[in-house]
Amino acid sequence: MKDNLPAMGPYHTMKPDIIASLSRAGLSENTSSRLADSLTTRFLLQPSVAVVPPGASKIGGYPHWPAGLPYPQEKDFIYEFVAQVNLADLADGDDDILPHAGMLYFFIDDDFNVGNINAHVVLHTDVPALEVTPPPKGKPSRCESFDGRKESTQMKLNIAKGYTFEQKALDDAYNELDAAGRLATAGFDPEQFNTRDQIWGYPVSWVNIDRQWSAYLAKKGMFGLYWFTSDRQLAYLQSEQIDLKQWLYGKLAAKIEEQKGILEKNNKTIYIYPYWEQELRDLEYAQLHLDDFIDDLAFHKEACKKWRLLLSMSSYNEANICFGDGRMEFYIHTDDLQQLNFSNIYCNIV
C-alpha cells in the first residue's frame, strides 16, 4: 500500500502562505481558530527505489548500524528493522528537540496485533562508523510479514519539511467547505494536510480509538479498556445516561470469557497464542483496577495528551514491509522526548 503523496513543494513548506490561505478560506471562527492553534511541523517521507548511501534515511533492508554494537534482540527473539532516519534530514524543524546529527532507528517485535506492539527505538548520536548489519542467525523473528527480508529489500527515504493541522479540525474544515460548495474555490484544501508517511504531525482521525489514549492505557497497564473507552463511546454512554462502571464491568467480563474460550480451543504452539494470553492478562488487570481508574477518568483523559506521534509509515512491497492494509505508528511521551529517552515507545497498526 502506498500513499498518493502530493508534491513536496512550497504549499507544504511555506508557513506564512498556509496561514494566509487559512484566513481567506471563509471557515467558521471556531474551526479556523482550532486549525490555527494546531498548526505544527511535520516531515513528509517519500520512499523511492534507489541506491541508499551509508547512513542515509531509509526503510527496509538491514540497518546501517554502529560498528561493533550488537543487533537489537532479546533472549529468545530478534527485533525486525523497519526504518532509520538520519537526523540531519530533520535539522530544519521548528523545534530543536532532536540533535542535528546522529541516527534514529525503528524496530518492532510484532506485526500481528493492532495495538500495544512491542517496539524498540534507538537513538545514536555518536556514529563514527556504520555498517550493514543483518540480524543474527539462530534466533527467530516474531514478525511473519518480514520473512523475505534481505539487504536489497530497502527504499531510500526522501524527507521534506512541511506543516499540518490536527486531523479532527481538518475534517470539520472539509465538511464546512463541502457543505458550502466551496472546496474547489476556497484556496484552502484540507486534504493536502491529511496524515501521510511522516515524522511528527498528527495521527489519522478515521479510526474510532484515539491513539494517544491507547498509548496512555498501555503504559498504565489498563490496555484492556482499549476497545471500550473511546471519546465517542463515552459520549454515547453519557448521552444515554448509562452507568459507566457497570457497563464496563459487563463488557470486560464478557470479553474475558471470550478470550478464555479462544485459549482453550487453540494449541499453545500457535504463533499468536502468547499474544492472546497477554490480551487476557490485560483484560483481567483492567477489571481488577477499574474502580480507581474510572474515578480519575477526567485526569487520565487529559494526561494522555502528552503522547505525541513520532513516525507514521504505510506498507511498501519493495521494502518487504507490510502492515496489512494499514499503517504503523510510533508514539513518544513528551517528557521522554525532552530527555531523548526512546525506551518507552508506544506502537500500533491502524
Q: In this model, does residue 94 exceed pLDDT 90?
A: no
User: Are 247 and 143 found together in one domain?
Assistant: no
Measure the CA–CA gap between 110 and 145, rounded to whole angstroms.
Answer: 10
Q: From its phi and psi, is residue 221 left (phi > 0), alpha (psi between -120 and 50) or beta?
A: left
Tens of pLDDT, residues 121-164: 999 998 779 999 999 888 888 777 677 778 999 999 999 999 99
pLDDT per residue as tens digits for the range 265-287 = 998 888 778 888 989 999 999 99
Structural domain count, the chain: 2
pLDDT band at 10 (very low <50, low <70, confident <90, very high): very low
Looking at the fold, whether 57 and 119 belong to one and the same domain comes out as yes
- The answer to whether residues 28 and 167 belong to one domain is yes
Residue 43 lies in a domain: yes
Reference 49, options 196, 159, 158, 154; nearest CA is: 154
Q: Given this model, what pLDDT does residue 195 score?
A: 83
Q: Give me the mean pLDDT over the 283-292 stretch.
A: 97
Average pLDDT over residues 44-52: 95
Does residue 299 form part of some domain?
no
pLDDT at residue 77, rounded to an integer: 87
Domain containing residue 146: CATH number:
2.30.320.10
pLDDT band at 324 (very low <50, low <70, confident <90, very high): confident
Same domain, yes or no: 242 and 190: no
> Can you give the length of the chain in residues?
350
Residues 273 and 162 in one domain: no
Provide the pLDDT for residue 2.
41
* 18-36 tens-digit pLDDT: 888 888 888 999 999 999 9
Percent of the chain residues topping a pLDDT of 70: 93
State residue 227's pLDDT score: 82
Nearest partner of 284 among 165, 276, 23, judged by Cα: 276
User: Under DSSP, is residue 45 helix (H, G, I), strand (E, B) or coil?
Assistant: strand
| Alpha helix (H) residue ranges in the chain | 10-13, 15-24, 29-38, 167-179, 211-219, 231-239, 244-265, 273-288, 290-295, 297-303, 334-338
pLDDT band of residue 206 (cuts 50, 70, 90) is low
58 — pLDDT class (breaks 50, 70, 90): very high
Identify whether 349 is part of a domain: no
Q: Are residues 247 and 203 in the same domain?
A: no
pTM of the model: 0.90
H/E run at residue 301: helix 297-303
In this structure, is residue 49 part of a structural domain?
A: yes
| Contact call for residues 304 and 226 (beta carbons, < 8 A) | no
Q: Are 44 and 97 contained in the same domain?
A: yes
231 or 3, which is more confident?
231
Do both 70 and 30 map to the same domain? yes
Q: Specify if 95 maps to a domain.
A: yes
Please tell me the least confidently modeled range out of 52-66, 134-148, 162-176.
134-148
Over residues 95-124, the mean pLDDT reads: 87
Shared domain for 118 and 91, answered yes or no, is: yes
Measured CA to CA, the distance from residue 200 to residue 6 in angstroms comes to 18
Tell me, rounded to whole angstroms, the distance of Cα 56 from its chain centroid.
22
Question: What backbone phi and psi angles, to 5 degrees, belong to 103?
Answer: -130, 145
Pick from 37, 62, 57, 55: nearest CA to 46 = 57
Both 246 and 334 in one domain: the answer is no
297 domain-assigned: no
Range of the domain at 329: 10-208+307-340
List strands edge to edge, sheet with 307-314.
Answer: 119-124, 103-108, 80-86, 58-60, 154-164, 40-48, 198-200, 307-314, 327-333, 346-349
Q: Which residue has better confidence, 46 or 272? A: 46
The yes-or-no verdict on residue 310 having pLDDT over 90 is yes
Bridge-based pairing state of the strands 119-124 and 198-200:
unpaired
The pLDDT of residue 284 is 97
Is residue 1 domain-resident? Answer: no
Residues 32 and 157 in one domain: yes
pLDDT of residue 111: 63
The pLDDT of residue 149: 79
Say whether both 133 and 159 belong to one domain: yes
131 part of a folded domain? yes
Mean pLDDT, all residues of the chain: 89
